[in-house]
Amino acid sequence: MASIRVGLLGLGVVGGGTWKVLQKNAEEIARRAGRRIEVAAVAVRDVEKARRLLGDSDVRITTDGLEVARDPNIDIVVELIGGETIAKEWVMEAIRQGKHVVTANKALLACHGNEIFDAASSKGVMVMFEAAVAGGIPIIKAIREGLTANRIDWIAGIINGTTNFILSEMQSRGLPFNTVLAEAQRLGYAEADPTFDIEGVDAAHKLTLLASLAFGIPVQFDKACVEGISKLEAEDIQHAARLGYRIKLLGITRRRDDGIELRVHPTLIPMGCLLANVDGAMNAVLVHGDAVGPTLYYGQGAGEMPTASAVVADLVDVARLESADPEHRVPHLAFQPDAVKDIPILGADDIESSYYLRLRVEDRPGVLSEISRILAESDISIGSMFQEPFQAGEASIIFLLHRAREGAVSGAITRMHKLPFVRSEVTRLRVEDLI
Ligand SMILES: NC(=O)C1=CN([C@@H]2O[C@H](COP(=O)(O)OP(=O)(O)OC[C@H]3O[C@@H](n4cnc5c(N)ncnc54)[C@H](O)[C@@H]3O)[C@@H](O)[C@H]2O)C=CC1
Ligand SMILES: N[C@@H](CC=O)C(=O)O
Ligand code: NA
């Protein structure tokens, strides 16, 4: 059978890895796909750099992705440039031209996925995005195909390699934040704009896609509650450890009777939990289905070769399914497009979690009773608390609170800020008791 011809948009970390995997495992991939997967053209910013990587191959190099998207000899366009503007323009053009698309671009799909998937369905082409969530872990395939018998209850995961790498190195080696971030950038884990990693935006992009796949809802990144790790203090990492917890940036999406939680934030998880022991740039995703129970997917969530592994797996899927009737392909978001439901996404105040609060207080009689009174009046019960010895007339008090609505906790914190003996902003972190 004739080879399937690919146009690569971008030849950076992931694009370069994709080229390497396709060369290295060409025979094995052809045995699986039923034909060879051949890179016919690439679009890049730096032509000379691309030429060095591609060696003496006869791949056409251009700086214009539209040229690749419009090339009648290309069957699949692989978008690996990132961002939402040019990437969207080139992807939409490829779809208009009737080409299948493979992308690792979670920002693009989390913000414009509904439009892109609609356009692809109308044209009868596939948009595959395994690399966009948790890099090399086949989490999309697992949810979209492996767990289709289940009503999925919740997903909780470490889905950003950069921040997990930063938190792990800060906790285990005491390295400063900026040193570890620079190393994550050198290793190719970080986004072009690393604030996407640090502020939880990248994880929220991925979680948005997971929620759509799990619950059959439209892609709604703008409704996610997002908090990153930039404000996390070393003191809280130490207190958490003393209480038997580790802090991880988690993405959590949960189906409740009144709607769906969609949230990313630093989270205390008990040290014995599986996710608490996922270190470095590794990702891990827990998916709970009503029939299967909890399932766990673990692997490299970022970096050249692991991400390329997912891109190439999608290419093989397209090669296998290309000739199938579009009606018989797996739907983009796991549910048939006419069965997607607009279930409400819950706002921040409606989130339910346990909480860690840290208050810096002055040494005065009645401090504890005042704080306890506010919590009791807000209908929030205290699980445990400890207080550090006073130094220079001040100390930190740490509370672990039982499950409560976030709105109640925020209201209590507002009241605490008005207490004359509270000396700094109250630190609030969520606590989740996972498997
Ligand atoms: N690096 C990683 O570990 C992972 C990255 N991703 C996603 O993969 C995509 C690519 O990321 P990286 O490979 O890390 O980025 P990168 O910055 O290493 O590579 C980007 C490539 O796109 C090309 N490019 C960018 N703008 C262009 C333009 N206007 N015209 C022509 N070429 C252009 C650049 O020349 C470069 O070859 C992003 O969407 C990213 O979020 C997804 C999973 C993991
Ligand atoms: N910047 C991302 C790359 C993979 O998606 C991460 O660190 O996880
Ligand atoms: Na993946």
pLDDT tens-place string over residues 276-323:
999 999 999 999 999 999 999 999 999 999 999 999 999 999 999 999
pLDDT tens-place string over residues 237-253:
999 999 999 999 999 99
Task: Please write down the HEC assignment for all residues of the chain.
Answer: CCCEEEEEECCCHHHHHHHHHHHHCHHHHHHHHCCCEEEEEEECCCHHHHHHHHCCCCCEEECCHHHHHCCCCCCEEEECCCCCCHHHHHHHHHHHCCCEEEECCHHHHHHHHHHHHHHHHHHCCCEECHHHCCCCCCHHHHHHHHCCCCCEEEEEEECCHHHHHHHHHHHHHCCCHHHHHHHHHHCCCCCCCCHHHHCCHHHHHHHHHHHHHHHCCCCCHHHCEECCCCCCCHHHHHHHHHCCEEEEEEEEEEEECCEEEEEEEEEEEECCCCHHHCCCCEEEEEEEECCCEEEEEEEECCCHHHHHHHHHHHHHHHHHHCCCCHHHCCCCCCCCHHHCCCCCECCHHHCEEEEEEEEEEECCCCHHHHHHHHHHHCCCCEEEEEECCCECCEEEEEEEEEEEEHHHHHHHHHHHHCCCCECCCCEEEEECCCC
Residues 195 and 164 in one domain: yes
Q: Which two tokens stand for residue 142?
A: 């697992």
Ligand 2 center to 197 CA (angstroms)? 7
Ligand 1 center to 12 CA (angstroms)? 5
% of the chain residues with pLDDT over 90:
97
- The whole-number pLDDT of residue 174 equals 86
Residues 193 and 120 in one domain: no
- The whole-number pLDDT of residue 74 equals 98
Q: What is the mean pLDDT of residues 423-430?
A: 97
Buried b or exposed e, range 107-146, using 16+ CB within 10 angstroms: bbbbbbbeebbebbbebebbbbbbbbbbbbbbbbbbbbeb
Q: What is the mean pLDDT of residues 420-430?
A: 97
Taking Cα atoms as reference points, which of 206, 209, 229, 205 lies closest to residue 218?
209
Active site positions, annotated: 206
CA–CA separation, 50 vs 154, rounded Å? 42
Q: Is the pLDDT of residue 435 over 90?
A: no
Residues 287 and 400 in one domain: no
pLDDT tens-place string over residues 325-384:
999 999 999 999 999 999 999 999 999 999 999 999 999 999 999 999 999 999 999 999
pLDDT tens-place string over residues 371-393:
999 999 999 999 999 999 999 99
- Is residue 29 within 8 Å of 63, Cβ to Cβ? no
CATH number of the domain residue 382 falls in: 3.30.70.260
Is residue 303 within 6 Å of ligand 1 at its C-beta? yes
| Residue 86 CA, closest ligand 1 atom number | 29
Ligand 2 center to 196 CA (angstroms)? 9
Residues 150 and 130 in one domain: no
Is residue 46 within 6 Å of ligand 1 at its C-beta? yes
Residues 312 and 361 in one domain: no
- The whole-number pLDDT of residue 1 equals 83
Least confident of 172-181, 199-208, 255-264: 172-181
pLDDT tens-place string over residues 205-216:
999 999 999 999
Residues 188 and 288 in one domain: yes
Residues 53 and 162 in one domain: no
Is residue 160 within 6 Å of ligand 2 at its C-beta? yes
Q: Is the pLDDT of residue 165 over 90?
A: yes
Query: Does 258 reside within a domain?
Result: yes
Is residue 197 within 6 Å of ligand 2 at its C-beta? yes
Query: Does 345 reside within a domain?
Result: no
pLDDT tens-place string over residues 54-102:
999 999 999 999 999 999 999 999 999 999 999 999 999 999 999 999 9
pLDDT tens-place string over residues 395-408:
999 999 999 999 99
* Range of the structural domain that residue 282 is part of: 139-300
Residues 131 and 153 in one domain: no
Q: 171: pLDDT confidence band, cut at 50, 70 and 90?
A: confident
- The whole-number pLDDT of residue 163 equals 98
pLDDT tens-place string over residues 53-63:
999 999 999 99
Is residue 302 within 6 Å of ligand 2 at its C-beta? yes
Query: Does 344 reside within a domain?
Result: no
Q: What is the mean pLDDT of residues 137-147?
A: 98
Ligand 1 center to 105 CA (angstroms)? 8
The count of domains in the chain is: 3
Residues 124 and 177 in one domain: no
Across all residues in the chain, what is the average pLDDT?
97
Query: Does 173 reside within a domain?
Result: yes
